[in-house]
Amino acid sequence: MNRPPLPPAIESAELAWHNGVPESKRFGDVYFSRDNGLEETRHVFLRHNQLQERFSQIREGGSFVIAENGFGTGLNFLAAWQAWQSNAPAHTATLHFVSVERFPLTREDLTRALALWPELKALADELLLHYPPLVRGVHRLVLAGGRVRLTLFFGDINEAWRALDFRADAWFLDGFAPARNPDMWLEDTISQVRAHSKPGTTLATFTSVGRIRRALMDAGFKMEKTTGYGRKREMLKGILETEGPDQPERPGTIAIIGAGIAGCTLARNLAERGYPVTLVDSRAPGNGASGNAQGALYVKLGVEFNDQTELALTSLTFAQRFYGNWRGQYWHPTGLLQLAHSPQEADRQARFLHRNDYPRDIFWPVTREQASELAGMPTQSGGLWFPRSGWLEPQNLCKTLADHPLISTSFGVEVNRLLPCNGQWHLSTEQGSTLAADQVIICSGHLSPELIPIKGRFRLKAIRGQVSHLPAPAVTKPKAVICGNRYLNPTLGDIAVTGATFDLHDSNPLPTTESHEENIQELDSMLPSLFSPNAGKPRAEALDGRVAFRCTTHDYQPVAGPMFDGESACLDDLYLFTGLGSKGLSYAPLLAEYLADRLTGQPVCLPTNLVRRLETRRLFQAGMAVS
Ligand code: SAM
């Protein structure tokens, strides 16, 4: 056996192909029946969970949750998605599919395995386009325009079910045969199946082994043997016959305060799930920290693969998939170069590369020559190349996101206070009017502390950032985003945006010549060949630019979750989503997905360790108010 890879990489499946059917070398078993895998899936999993009938009965804005053990080739998932396409109601509803895989197939093997099913080709192509890099942890794939959401945990099954927060309507119990794959059928695993089930949850499995049937019965399922598929004479189906509410309540009216990238991604996410929202802002969308003409999609991955790094990585890959919807419009996946621009950064990158093992679809290290080639200009060092990153037009994107029939906008309205009143939140405005909503999410960036009902106790600060607009003729045109002690974007029209300053104790809202000067100096030291020798460096006093205030927490990590009440619990129906610092474009799509999961009671796309990392409670400082 080879040594397991360093984090965050995960061992992939090793396949043997016999007559075109994939088999696992590790487990010595087939992924699906040799007779006809698709028909087997339909018989065992779709029919015996009565998916056709149950799909058609889902209420508007509702969801149906299938959980599976063993994603394998994704055949079961695609078959369920196809059945959803044919049987789901005409109104908006979401199919959630939660699956786990300890040894994921490589993209190449998955492509080959799914090519066996011509009738699933369109769905398989979409899955392949979104298939995540082979790194441990949770990946959320938003497919079919949001009508299908796949939560894929790459790791061991027991780790997965402990880390994920969801309750299934139907289970596909599909490990390899119990004798060959005992880990998949442990009592602990079966008790996790029970813990993640609702009253009335059904299950189906190809196996009819007595021990499994008894363990499922002990866990509370009423089990029945029935006819199996093909050469398998028998299979099992079951139902959890317990009492209790089976549908989460709809969240009522939702108001989001702040139409930057956080508020706009969240509003759009909820609207696409069929939930009407009101989006309030004192200005138009994307006018604060998300209002720059260009913004880089960039995270800094830590030397240690800890929760912070995991959150940055999963946010980055989710954001790359999310912005793919606006490719050719506001999303420009030119690639991004993270230069080893100083001895400290070169040392950090060396330690990072030594400790970790990242697949090439996330990044790969490049020499100085390669970096220069990719950047389109000479660089002074090598660095890391992120082939799927690039830059965005954030303001245009925010406007587009806010434009949806289920989003009512109240722009030009400044909320100055939030008060609980008769089970709702009242939003009183500068203009003297009051809005009411059942659920409120504060996404107001550096203005958020003003709206938090417990004043001055949450460690949030505003950090001034000024960008400079370099005139295109003054610079060698970069082919990709270049990051170091500053970032520089490829040109957009007649400018290239660079920045930003990081001014902790400066509240000047206007661009200053000193800040432009600082941007030019830093950029010149990072890329000495950037400014054309004839024209020289642009004059700081002649530059245009823009100032915005990033909202940052004391630990420089984002915050997204229910608002801590300052004692031991959370305030009802009030959420905070901010603290994205200068990485809002990277964090916002995934954290919006997470909050929308919570608000709608649907499966949560983040594991518990990352949910904890985002909590509002950690910002709370007892005693003295923070300034
Ligand atoms: N449902 C799959 C499909 O549609 O192609 C077939 C699943 S295959 C029969 C079983 C899968 O379980 C394999 O992909 C295997 O790698 C995975 N597996 C085995 N042991 C596991 C474990 N301990 N945790 C998570 N996955 C595991």
Question: How is the chain split into domains, by residue range?
Answer: 15-240, 251-333+388-458+557-614, 336-387+461-553
Written out in words, the top-level CATH class of the domain with range 336-387+461-553 is alpha beta
Determine if ligand 1 sits within 6 Å of the CB of residue 157.
yes
Q: Map residue 530 onto helix, strand or coil.
A: coil
User: If 0-12 CB within 10 Å is exposed, 13-18 middle and 19+ buried, where does residue 406 land?
Assistant: middle
Query: Which is it for the CA torsion 555, 560, 565, 570, positive or negative?
Result: negative
- Ligand 1 centroid distance, CA of 27 (Å): 10
> The pTM is what?
0.98
Closest-CA residue, ligand 1 atom 17, reads 70
- Superfamily, domain 15-240: Vaccinia Virus protein VP39 (3.40.50.150)
Of 165, 280, 138, the closest CA to residue 590 belongs to 138
- Ligand 1 centroid distance, CA of 175 (Å): 5
Residues of the chain with pLDDT under 70: 1-2, 245-249, 624-627
Ligand 1 atom at minimum distance from 74 CA:
4
Ligand 1 atom at minimum distance from 77 CA:
4
Ligand 1 atom at minimum distance from 183 CA:
23
Ligand 1 atom at minimum distance from 29 CA:
9
Task: Give me the pLDDT at residue 242, please.
Answer: 87
Task: Give me the pLDDT at residue 302, please.
Answer: 98
Closest-CA residue, ligand 1 atom 20, reads 184
Q: Determine the residue of 33, 41, 81, 102 to mutate for testing ligand 1's pocket, defined as the one with the most ligand atoms within 8 A of the Cβ atom.
A: 102
Task: Give me the pLDDT at residue 623, please.
Answer: 75
Task: Give me the pLDDT at residue 1, please.
Answer: 53
> What would you report as the CA-atom Rg of the chain, rounded to the nearest whole angstrom?
26
List, in sequence order, every residue forming a beta bridge with 464; answer none if it has no partner: 503, 549
Task: Give me the pLDDT at residue 285, please.
Answer: 94
- Ligand 1 centroid distance, CA of 545 (Å): 53
Mention every residue, 6+ apart, whose C-beta is less than 8 A from residue 563: 442, 452, 453, 570, 571, 574, 575, 576, 616
Task: For residue 476, report the phi and psi dihedrals to the nearest 5 degrees.
Answer: -70, 130
User: If 0-12 CB within 10 Å is exposed, 13-18 middle and 19+ buried, where does residue 441 land?
Assistant: buried
Determine if ligand 1 sits within 6 Å of the CB of residue 393.
no
Task: Give me the pLDDT at residue 624, please.
Answer: 64
Q: Determine the residue of 10, 71, 153 to mutate for testing ligand 1's pocket, defined as the one with the most ligand atoms within 8 A of the Cβ atom.
A: 71
Mention every residue, 6+ apart, whose C-beta is less than 8 A from residue 132: 139, 141, 152, 154, 317
Determine if ligand 1 sits within 6 Å of the CB of residue 143.
no
CATH of domain 251-333+388-458+557-614: 3.50.50.60
- Ligand 1 centroid distance, CA of 594 (Å): 26
Closest-CA residue, ligand 1 atom 21, reads 102
Task: Give me the pLDDT at residue 394, please.
Answer: 96
Helix 75-87 vs helix 121-130: angle between axes, to the nearest 10 degrees?
120
Contact 77, 95 (CB under 8 A): no
Ligand 1 atom at minimum distance from 73 CA:
5
Task: Give me the pLDDT at residue 493, please.
Answer: 95
Task: For residue 52, report the phi and psi dihedrals to the nearest 5 degrees.
Answer: -55, -50
Task: For residue 74, report the phi and psi dihedrals to the nearest 5 degrees.
Answer: 80, 10
Determine if ligand 1 sits within 6 Å of the CB of residue 73.
yes
Tokens 């317990």, residue located: 242
- Ligand 1 centroid distance, CA of 117 (Å): 19
pLDDT tens digits for range 163-205: 999 999 999 999 999 999 999 999 999 999 999 999 999 999 9
- Ligand 1 centroid distance, CA of 73 (Å): 9
